[in-house]
Structure 1
Amino acid sequence: MSSRVRYFDIAKGIAMIGVVLGHSILLVSPMGTVSNWLYIFFFSFHMPLFFLLSGYFMHPDRRFAWRKESRELLLTYIITAATVVLLHLVVALLTHRDIAGIVGGWTVAALYGSGSDMTNALFPMSRYIGAIWFLLALFWAHLLVHVAYRLPGTPLWILVFFACGYASSRYVWLPLSVQAGLTASLFVYLGCMAKRFDVVGIFRRWPVLWVPSAIVWALAMWKFTAFGLATNAYGQTPLLSIVGSIGATLCIVGFSSVIDRWVPYLNKALALIGRYTLPIFCAHLLEEDDLPWGTIVERLQPIVGYQAEPFVIFAARSVLIAVMVLLLYRIPKINVVFFPSLAKKIATSKL
């Protein structure tokens, strides 16, 4: 019997939809009214939710699983980034473009590991790797929480890590999303503490607690100016952004438990997305970096209009990502990297 809690997968599924939809909205200018509110809604919580839930299922009291973390996060990053570079090489060859410039730019982007274009990087870059910054940051955050857990005054160390990541990123953006990992360690640690003190259980026994969570989330959306963990951008009210994202995660988890219990079919669909967020992240990165979305947006807008365009792009992306994930699942050796549960099934079948 599976030990997975389905409503956590549903919550991750909702956040994953928010990632793809949010990136689709950012492609289109001007941003429509509905798109703007959806952008604020999802960006107020989607990445913090992933870090918080990752921490919820961590065991910082155990030894750091170097092999597992490296395989599931670093190796996945390497394979995906290398595929981005390879696809750009193929396109450059077919279109007779500047091969050295294109491949060189994407190789540097892959090695630097920045989730967005940063003006304060160590040197100017023509490209940035995009969504899979999350894999690097999550690796650092897991490692830092394990380190802090073994030191006296663990919460203080976590705050020091966050402060160092946040403050230093104002001056220089270092390679491999180290600073994003430093700040993300706060969310991972809070997820660990939520599991330790059974916060979800407390909220389920006392549903009234979701009211203040919803209020602080609403305030964070009302005051929203920016919130991007990829670049340590916490807007003009950083504390409210952080607390609001925690309240939002609690609300999404609660909402997901309602879907799990009362909404058949949708619960299974969202849980499936949440269960396979790792390959979905990587497939999304491939299409985001390798397809000429700027040209597509420019040609599509006169046909569908800027209000509907983000949703048309989202629909197209969703189909494309689904196909890519299915292909990843079918590739021997590679599939066990992107689908860790598949590796367990293969190992069990050999016993």
Structure 2
Amino acid sequence: MKERDCTFDIMKGIAMVLVIMSHTILMPNPFVYWRSVLFFVISGYFAKEWPVGEFLQKGAKRLFIPYVVTCLFMLPLVLLGEFLLDVDVLKTVLKSMAWGAGRFGYADKYMDICIGPLWFVCASTWVRIVWALLQKIKKELFRGVIIVLFGIAAYKLRENTINPWSIFSAFGALGFFYCGFVIRKYDVLNSPKGKTVMPIAVLCLVYCIYFSSMDVNYCFYKKGYIVSLLAGVGAFMLLYAGVKMFADKNVRFWKFLNFIGRYSLVAFCFHSVDFCLCSCWFPFKFWDLFATNFELCCALILRVGFVALGCYLVSKNKFLKERIFFIKD
């Protein structure tokens, strides 16, 4: 059996730590929002050509079941928080779950309470469904044009409507997914084409970081969708080159990132629980308890530790690992 390339797992591990960091330590938006882009580009890099019926039968459950199980795990903890702290958040959390991790379309007192990172699981499901449908279009250029139009339409629609099950987020993310597919198909990472693409993509990335803002979840592409796509490619290629150059899978630090990346779906689910509870249980919000830079770093370590513990427990339980999260060695 071919040995698994740890490069992409390490890349996902780095992106996962950035996700947790962005929810703990306030950082400029143009920087932190590239962590979601990386996941979609990497997912597209390993995209398969599958019929939509086959995906709905076999593939969708790999994302839908973890979403449902995470919500069911979260509910008793929210109820416990209500009982202990005398807050009324269950209705809002239930709405958030029903909308697919969205917090849009209603005006509750606790409007900012949602199940946060789980939007990624919903969006990833839609991305794969739309991708399976678009595979009927054989001409790459024509398929790419349609995907770009989806992204632009999603940007416009999100301005005036809610985002059920993160479907508009998925339409925007589809472009980054497709970029990953194209990079793999034409071997951009290892061919002379990459030497041409990378400088342009990196320039777009620098431009977006310093002069713009981008958020896949909100379909917000301030400097244009195509520029954002190229910037996403730049972030992917830079991280890939950096990991290839510096990562040593025998060193504990890189082993840890490799492990978190391998179990990134589990990490998203456990961080969503953490995100929801830290929003619901106001007295325990990390950003209230930890005010100084040193204490914020302690909060970050605790949250990463919670996610790592969840990944470890799942990795040691065959039922959870294979039947809930569909992870095979």
Interval containing the TM-score (normalised by the shorter chain):
0.7 to 0.9
- The answer for the alignment partner of 1:150 in structure 2 is 136
Does residue 212 of structure 2 align to residue 230 of structure 1? Answer: no
- The answer for the alignment partner of 1:340 in structure 2 is 326
Does residue 42 of structure 2 align to residue 53 of structure 1? Answer: yes
- The answer for the alignment partner of 1:124 in structure 2 is 107
Q: Distance in 1 between matches of 2:194 and 2:182?
A: 18
Change (3 A) 1:42 1:259: farther
CA contact (8 A) 2:15 2:36 kept: yes
CA contact (8 A) 1:75 1:337 kept: no
CA contact (8 A) 1:76 1:337 kept: no
Q: Distance in 2 between matches of 1:239 and 1:157?
A: 13
- The answer for the alignment partner of 1:325 in structure 2 is 311
The one of 233, 258, 276 equivalent to 2:245 is 258
Q: Distance in 1 between matches of 2:119 and 2:131?
A: 18
Q: Distance in 1 between matches of 2:322 and 2:312?
A: 13
Q: Distance in 2 between matches of 1:231 and 1:179?
A: 8
CA contact (8 A) 1:140 1:181 kept: yes
- The answer for the alignment partner of 2:209 in structure 1 is 221
Q: Give the C-alpha shift of residue 129 in structure 1.
A: 2.1
Counterpart code for 2:116? G
CA contact (8 A) 2:163 2:169 kept: no
Q: Which moved more, 1:254-263 or 1:80-89?
A: 254-263
Q: Which moved more, 1:52-61 or 1:253-262?
A: 253-262
CA contact (8 A) 1:7 1:253 kept: yes
Offset from partner CA, 1:270-320 (integer Å, 9 cap, x none): 22221111111111111111133664432332xxx2x33432211111122
- Which structure 2 residue ranges, 5 or more long, are not aligned? none
What percent identity do the matched residue pairs reach? Answer: 21
Counterpart code for 1:7? T
Change (3 A) 1:81 1:271: same
- The answer for the alignment partner of 1:191 in structure 2 is 180
Q: Give the C-alpha shift of residue 264 in structure 1.
A: 3.8
TM-score, length-normalised on structure 2? 0.86
Q: Give the C-alpha shift of residue 158 in structure 1.
A: 1.3
CA contact (8 A) 1:9 1:272 kept: yes
Does residue 104 of structure 2 align to residue 104 of structure 1? Answer: no
Q: Give the C-alpha shift of residue 217 in structure 1.
A: 1.9
Q: Distance in 1 between matches of 2:289 and 2:48?
A: 49
- The answer for the alignment partner of 2:121 in structure 1 is 135
Q: Give the C-alpha shift of residue 85 in structure 1.
A: 1.9
Counterpart code for 1:21? M
Q: Distance in 1 between matches of 2:323 and 2:107?
A: 32
The one of 185, 203, 228 equivalent to 1:241 is 228
- The answer for the alignment partner of 2:61 in structure 1 is 71
Counterpart code for 2:242? F
Question: 3-state SS of the aligned residue for 2:4?
Answer: coil
Question: 3-state SS of the aligned residue for 1:54?
Answer: helix
Q: Distance in 2 between matches of 1:252 and 1:271?
A: 14
- The answer for the alignment partner of 2:24 in structure 1 is 24
Counterpart code for 1:221? I
Counterpart code for 1:186? G
Offset from partner CA, 1:92-141 (integer Å, 9 cap, x none): 2344x35xx432221111011244x43xx2x3353322101001101101
Offset from partner CA, 1:16-67 (integer Å, 9 cap, x none): 11111111113xxxxxxxx44xx64332x21111111101111125554223
Counterpart code for 2:310? M
Counterpart code for 1:124? A
Q: Give the C-alpha shift of residue 324 in structure 1.
A: 2.5
Question: 3-state SS of the aligned residue for 2:117?
Answer: coil
CA contact (8 A) 2:16 2:264 kept: yes
Q: Distance in 2 between matches of 1:89 and 1:246?
A: 42
Change (3 A) 1:208 1:231: closer
Q: Distance in 2 between matches of 1:134 and 1:299?
A: 27
Change (3 A) 1:309 1:241: farther
Q: Distance in 1 between matches of 2:149 and 2:203?
A: 28
Q: Which moved more, 1:325-334 or 1:180-189?
A: 325-334
Q: Distance in 2 between matches of 1:278 and 1:329?
A: 12
- The answer for the alignment partner of 1:161 in structure 2 is 150
Offset from partner CA, 1:226-245 (integer Å, 9 cap, x none): 32211112235554333222
Does residue 70 of structure 2 align to residue 80 of structure 1? Answer: yes
Q: Distance in 2 between matches of 1:329 and 1:268?
A: 15
Offset from partner CA, 1:121-169 (integer Å, 9 cap, x none): 2x33533221010011011011111111203632232123222222111
Question: 3-state SS of the aligned residue for 1:334?
Answer: helix
